[in-house]
Amino acid sequence: MEYLKKGIGQNNKQEDDTGKTVAEIISNVKNGGDKELEKYEKQLSNSTRDNFRVSEEEIEASIKSLPKEVKELIDRNVERISSFAEAQLNCILPLEKEFGSGIKMGHRVIPIAKVGAYIPGGRFPLLSSGPMVVAPAKVAGAEKIVACSPANYKNGIHPAVVYGLIRSGATEIHAIGGAQAVASMAYGTETVSNVDMIAGPGNRFVAEAKRQVFGKVGIDLIAGPSEVLVFADDTANPRYCAADLLAQAEHDPNARAILVSISTTCANKTMEEVEKFLNDFSPESPAHQSWENMGEVIYVKSIEEGIEVCNDYAIEHLHLHVKNSDDLIDEFCNYGSLFLGSDSSVVFSDKVSGTNHTLPTQQAARYTGGLWVGNFVKVLTHQKITGEGINYLASHATKQSEIEGLEGHRLSAALRLSN
């Protein structure tokens, strides 16, 4: 493998500073509640809201302000995301089975009662982000869904984001962003209800906050900044490759856009197309900094070597611009979501196809997939031991407890043995 362009990588000092900053925010919000929230919202978000919770009046005004076509787009998002989540939930079946005479075991599928949804909104009003987190939680059966999103639109949340949250099933909405939002949902404040788990993507501060509150609450995964790896052969269209790289690069200055190609011609032409496209992007677009600092182009000598590189990167979005991509699907094992063929744009999943766009980053795809309805349910086991099963298990447990030197365990098992 040969780098034709290499990114500078993550700044370790920046990561250390982020961790310290977030730890302080969490501690202060945990102990100071709304007073500390207000301080951080003014300091970090320039928010001057008197009340963090989005009122019914604000919700009604937001809905009325939206054009019909915007509502229809969001309704379609909610319907497709919910439909896919329902299909996934139908795959998670309860279990009740006999494992030997008198030994019945099984599990139940129970929804998590209180879910916190973090909806990013730092640069753009992302219309699908709310439904991506809230709709699967609603389908799973969550009783309470607390949503937080930055107050970066006229001192509140963008109307389209509010509408998406309401249509998806959010029961409580707060105009709060960043690590302070995560802390407020984890520990609760005078205004914000505490939750059992927190889901949703965000910037490095949000990701770090989720990492630090894990244990107090559950989390879905560490998601963000965005990543894409385009794997291309000599049949790929460099303009398509370039556009797909930039679509993710524009999310964040730290987003990673990577091209792996078995064709130096394709690789070089793609880099040329990226620069051409960037000339037409707004100077303020994060894509410029992302591509310059984090973008990578890698030449590999064969499809097999390319597959190995892709699996090593364990990237968030893996897009195959290669011939007969369907035939290769079983060769890839580490990715957040896989896109087969040059026309299967990652943008379709970002917006409306129905699969979730909250996906593992920073190589987390080595051990987890993306957000799905299964994150919002608990699979709880149970057992009932009767008849012959009592003697069988009690005999085993008594002998094992004696070997282990656990007197209480031996006693509890031995009392069940038949005289």
Helices 178-187 & 204-213 angle (0-180, nearest 10): 20
Whether 396 is catalytic: no
What token pair was written down for 12? Answer: 């370790």
Give the position of tokens 């989540």.
85
Contacts of 324 (CB under 8 A, 6+ apart): none
| Catalytic-labelled residue, pool 158, 174, 251, 317 | 317
Q: Which residues sit opposite 145 in a β-bridge?
A: 115
Q: Which residues sit opposite 380 in a β-bridge?
A: 108
Give the position of tokens 């699908």.
128
Whether the ω angle into residue 136 lies within 30 degrees of 0, i.e. cis, is no
Q: 215, exposed or middle or buried, with CB in 10 Å at 0-12, 13-18, 19+? A: exposed
Closest CA to 156 of 52, 75, 60: 52
Q: Which residues sit opposite 173 in a β-bridge?
A: 147
What token pair was written down for 385? Answer: 């031991």
Cα(133)–Cα(71) distance, integer angstroms: 18
| Catalytic-labelled residue, pool 158, 316, 319, 357 | 316
Over its C-alpha atoms, the chain yields an Rg (Å, rounded) of 25
Whether 382 is catalytic: no
Closest CA to 287 of 251, 238, 317: 251
Catalytically active residues, by annotation: 316-317
